[in-house]
Chains A and B, each alone.
Chain A
Amino acid sequence: DAGITQSPRHKVTETGTPVTLRCHQTENHRYMYWYRQDPGHGLRLIHYSYGVKDTDKGEVSDGYSVSRSKTEDFLLTLESATSSQTSVYFCAISERTRRDEQYFGPGTRLTVT
């Protein structure tokens, strides 16, 4: 987990509230990713970024938005949280391309009640 931090690590929120998760890296890697992990589904890509202000959708992007205003920070926002967004969220980074090995943060456990 060195070089990648996520905050908060745990959060409980109510349905309908906005939530922002933060990923911070100190590796100066170009690519950053947000995944969610749910039992039986492995990791599913939500959004990724390939540079400052450059982002693209992943497999399960509905209900999520992202922003990257600095190389080191990648924010994931749930505009109006739903119970189906209860999950563990992982941030990851890769150095140059999407094909490179990815390094993962420690995860954020989000519960939407």
Chain B
Amino acid sequence: SQQGEEDPQALSIQEGENATMNCSYKTSINNLQWYRQNSGRGLVHLILIRSNEREKHSGRLRVTLDTSKKSSSLLITASRAADTASYFCATDDGQNFVFGPGTRLSVLP
């Protein structure tokens, strides 16, 4: 069963715009991670946010976590064509580590 569900499934934006994707989950978690996957490649870890954290930054990436709403968001600012990829959230509830189905982001030049 899937814990995390990303929204939207697909997103197209222009270069320079911000991209926001969301992840909702069902049960309490220990941490939530975001990964990126470029076409035909393995996943690359972006950010890990723990259940007692509300926000984390890494370069142009900003992740928030709202445990009361059981949701997280990933914001990519000033997007570039190279940000075109699929983005996955993964949740750890202490028993299972589960990936969501992903959001496909297309950044148009």
16 contacts between A and B (CB under 8 A): A4-B42, A42-B2, A42-B88, A42-B99, A43-B43, A90-B43, A99-B31, A101-B33, A102-B43, A102-B45, A103-B45, A104-B43, A104-B44, A106-B41, A106-B42, A107-B42
Distance in angstroms from A11 CB to nearest chain B CB is 16
- What does DSSP make chain B's interface, helix, strand, loop or mixed? strand
| Chain B residue nearest in CB terms to A4 | B42
Contact with A along B18-46 (1 / 0, CB 8 A): 00000000000011010100001111110
Within 8 A of A (CB), among B6-64: 30-31, 33, 35, 40-45, 48
> What residues make up the interface of A, taking CB atoms closer than 8 Å to B?
1, 4, 35, 40-45, 59, 90, 92, 98-99, 101-107
How many B residues face the partner with a CB closer than 8 A? 21
Min CB distance B59 to A, Å, is 16
User: Do residues B41 and A107 form an inter-chain contact, with CB atoms below 8 A?
Assistant: yes
Cα A44 to Cα B88 with chains together (Å): 12
Q: Shortest CB–CB separation between residue A44 and chain B, in angstroms?
A: 8
**Are the C-beta atoms of A90 and B42 separated by less than 8 Å?**
yes
- Closest 8 pairs between A and B when the two form their complex, measured CB to CB: A104-B42, A101-B45, A43-B99, A42-B101, A42-B99, A104-B43, A99-B92, A106-B42
Min CB distance, B58 to chain A, in Å?
12
In the complex the two chains form, what is the Cα distance from A96 to B25 in whole Å? 25
